[in-house]
Structure 1
């Protein structure tokens, strides 16, 4: 078991590098992940079932006890990210499936890696997990509705089919995981140690499938234009998420949590739905987002952590001088 935990931590530490390597590998050998393409939805189901296994009834009690920051953070996520995506599509004059893909990833619930970033940054992890849970549970309604509102001019939106698929792909695995955890509790504790590795491998396989399906179109002007759009989308989400949490006067740890919850997306869900309901090119923004938000999130988390450490050291030094005086 210790070996599994060590492997999990090792993969987690170098996960961004693993993503970049896997993207390059699949670009030069696209047939590697062709078999994954029809199985993408199952892989996402595995990831979300794992998320359900880690949830407890106390997580929902926490939402009921402290509803304001959770609801405020979830609303901020679903208001800020889709709107930014739509504005960027207008500014960069994106069209068709590419524009729909940018708006799709912007309409997804919060990313699962946001809680890791909040933990590393010294943020309110409990709040982060609560927002992540609520935004994911709302996804079957929020995601099709936001796509219809913002992306309807670019592609036809199969709203009801998206609603049903999101329930099947997102809610069912999570609720099954929650039920299994509730019924078996401590008996499955050992399983949760495998979950980070399983989820990370599933994400890599989904990314490989997107690269394989879009191999011929990856170096087009429209696709390359997505890179700065995704970077601006993510960074704007961080900035506006932090500003929003500051305006409603939340504490610093809560601001950090909401910053990551707003700026980081469930890009695996975006890629899965894009592959299922639109052309493969619509999954490219989600794939680029998956790479970039792991990089930017890690940098921001470490920066915040270092700043907190330096501030604490300065306070201790000042306290020591005061005591001497």
Structure 2
């Protein structure tokens, strides 16, 4: 009876995820006080990653193909160049250009494995890409900063490594270990884990929006240009991931599309703040976060319908 009720709730979360995400954005903008929950963000992300990882049987990691991983990593390295081109083409200020470049250089968004799972894609591939790119970011970010911004942004590796360890590596390791130890007991609730992760997505986007509500409202005409830039970066990223993975399996192709198109706006914002840039420099990251959460929820719904 309880399982049946939870399943019905899970269906409501999965089938109307886009609606819930848009509603969460609206609530965040209307009630900035929700930002008081920001300290819980890492815990929410850990629950999200852990929930998805409970579906990952150890044997799924053995099926990972190196060629698919390498292809995605190569495309990832082109995202900072794309971001710089977009900012330059829109005539944005140096601070906003820095915001876009750093956004293009950081890891895929931490919710990418969750959205991949909800889309019916290869969650293992999306998770491994996230981890590998995360550590590669320690080299990529300083490199693109020197190339495009003249070394004006300093990178604190502790920010990136800590977030990866606490929000991705630790919960994923515990979840996969639990799945390996009690496969039958854990497997009974497989259809519920993605929905729990989806609920965490709804919570986190509401908190992020609330924390940056004033920045969004006070941006004036620049806001429109940043929205256009975020839409282009997000859309071209999805398109690039989809095109380069045309010879992949469907699951791998979904993972590639989302991994390239989604960027970790929270890490980007943290790096910019740590480098002493004005608050406006984080606007691309904030706007992109709202855009990618909305578009990825829509894509997840579309991919599920196609399958």
TM-score, with normalisation over the residues of structure 1?
0.75
Return the offset for 1:165: 3.2
Partner deviation per Cα, 1:249-296 (whole Å, 9 max, x = no partner): x2674784365244442x5x5336635873674434223221123235
Q: Following the alignment from structure 1 to structure 2, what is the Cα–Cα distance between the partners of residues 50 and 273?
A: 25
- Partner residue in 2 for 1:184: 182
The within-5 A match list for 1:156-305 is: 156-219=154-217, 220=219, 221-246=221-246, 250=247, 253=250, 256-257=253-254, 260-265=257-262, 269-271=264-266, 274=269, 278=273, 281=283, 282-296=285-299, 298-299=301-302, 305=306
Q: Following the alignment from structure 2 to structure 1, what is the Cα–Cα distance between the partners of residues 302 and 192?
A: 26
2:105, 2:141 within 8 Å by CA — same for their partners in 1? no
Return the offset for 1:181: 1.4
Residues 256 and 164 (structure 1), Cα distance of their counterparts in 2 relative to 1, 3 Å cut? closer
- Partner residue in 2 for 1:15: 17
- Partner residue in 2 for 1:135: 129
Higher helix share: 1
Residues 129 and 202 (structure 1), Cα distance of their counterparts in 2 relative to 1, 3 Å cut? closer
Aligned residues: 287
> Larger Cα Rg: Structure 1 or Structure 2?
1
Return the offset for 1:232: 1.1
1:50, 1:199 within 8 Å by CA — same for their partners in 2? yes
Residues 180 and 77 (structure 1), Cα distance of their counterparts in 2 relative to 1, 3 Å cut? farther
2:84, 2:100 within 8 Å by CA — same for their partners in 1? no
- Which of 138, 150, 158 lines up with 1:144 in the alignment? 138
Partner-residue secondary structure (3-state), 2:245? helix
Partner deviation per Cα, 1:8-55 (whole Å, 9 max, x = no partner): 122111111111112112212221x12311111111111111232221
Q: Following the alignment from structure 2 to structure 1, what is the Cα–Cα distance between the partners of residues 131 and 259?
A: 16
Segment of structure 1 superposing worse, 204-213 or 291-300: 291-300
- Partner residue in 2 for 1:51: 52
Segment of structure 1 superposing worse, 98-107 or 189-198: 98-107
Q: Following the alignment from structure 1 to structure 2, what is the Cα–Cα distance between the partners of residues 297 and 289?
A: 12
TM-score, with normalisation over the residues of structure 2?
0.79
Segment of structure 1 superposing worse, 287-296 or 202-211: 287-296
2:95 paired with 1:89: no
2:235, 2:261 within 8 Å by CA — same for their partners in 1? no
Q: Following the alignment from structure 1 to structure 2, what is the Cα–Cα distance between the partners of residues 222 and 13?
A: 34
